[in-house]
Amino acid sequence: MLLLLLPFVPLVVICYCFRRCFCCCGKNDYTGRHVMITGGSSGIGLALAKLFVRRGANVTIVARNKEKLIAAKSELNECQTKSEQAVYAVSVDLSQGVEAINAAVAQPISEIGQVDVLINNAGTASCGRFLDVDEKDFLRQMEINYLSSVYTTRSILPSMMQRRQGQVAFVSSMAGQVGLYGYSAYTPSKYALRGLAECVQMEVKPRNIKVSVVFPPDTDTPGFANENIAKPEATKRLSGSAGLFTSEQVAENIFTGLERNRYNIWVGLDGFFLSTLTCGMGPSKSFFESFPQVMLGGFLRFVALCYVSMFNSTVYQCEREENRL
């Protein structure tokens, strides 16, 4: 099988370099901009908030846990590069709807100004076999992972539409690109974000508002540690094949993607392959973004079938080891 793949190696290298180095070379300047990040009290959200603060942005982080927010705000204050920068920490349950969010973010908006960049990063994950997962957990993950982004975007987007400028990012997951054993409650909520992002970007494009969708891999965060507690062995082996990244590594990739107005933001070589393969009817911001998708589409479908075969073998092996067959 490896011999069959060798002729494609030069093409893959060329496409990867195109995508990494030449796509959307212009960069956004976030100095003085108001950036709002949900799920910003820890993990990827906090690491991303630090990057924006260091680049001179005014940042509002939103989460539920007040104690974590206080600690996160303290860390962000230490990253400030200018005395006039502002950092706010807002506690709210995003699943409660637009009115609750409007009330919670009213103060930072009144003092900093309207939100220029919204990053919908709030999310949670719990794993389990489809028939073992509590029915309430399907609803809970849809509320937190999907509906919270719907409500927050509906809260912030009107002012962007009025000003005809802004940037919105939806943080999905590599598990939002492919269905895996044990993710029957989590994956659909992240798939939904892909569809939402495609619809919203088409509506707001005429008003100069940029939309991105992000597909992080497994990331070493407190949430990931909790997720692993009940994760089936097969799920651990399958998701672990893409490696484990730090919050800082993922945040750097997301920041660079947003800075260059990329629609599809991925992390690592596996992320590049999967995002290229699953781009479907999603938008493309430039020739350099389209070129790898067109050139590698058929080849990556072949690679995907090989992966699916290996995944199935892993599942069968785990099922036998656990005496479930």
Cβ(46)–Cβ(247) below 8 Å? yes
Q: How far is CA 11 from CA 4, 94, 155, 301, in A?
A: 14, 44, 44, 15
Q: Where in 33-146 does DSSP place strands (E)?
A: 34-38, 58-63, 87-91, 117-120
* Catalytic residue list: 172, 186, 190
Distance between CA atoms of residues 206 and 86, nearest Å: 31
Closest CA to 60 of 116, 126, 18: 116
Distance between CA atoms of residues 38 and 117, nearest Å: 11
Distance between CA atoms of residues 244 and 161, nearest Å: 38
